[in-house]
Amino acid sequence: MDTYFNTDDVEGELDQKIELLRDFLENSDFPKLRSSDQRFSGGQESNVVIKRNKRGRIVLEVL
């Protein structure tokens, strides 16, 4: 939140990231997601990037 209020986000990049996160949190099926891959259930440490594909759908990229 500090970044949001202390940054001059002229291009709206931070707003887009917040909207993406909100969309992901509100619309994801977390039980299904956790059961689909041990990296999503905490069984294996990993980094995940939340982004949108060309059609605007949310996709997860495991790094």
Output the pTM of the full model. 0.74
Confidence of residue 4 (pLDDT cuts 50, 70, 90): low
Interior/surface letters 11-26, b for 16+ CB within 10 angstroms, e for the rest? eeeeeeeeeeeeeeee
Distance in angstroms (rounded) separating the CA atoms of residues 3 and 12: 13
pLDDT digits (tens, 9 = 90+) for 24-62: 999 999 999 999 998 988 888 999 999 999 999 999 999
More confident residue, 2 or 27: 27
pLDDT at 6: 65
Confidence of residue 9 (pLDDT cuts 50, 70, 90): low
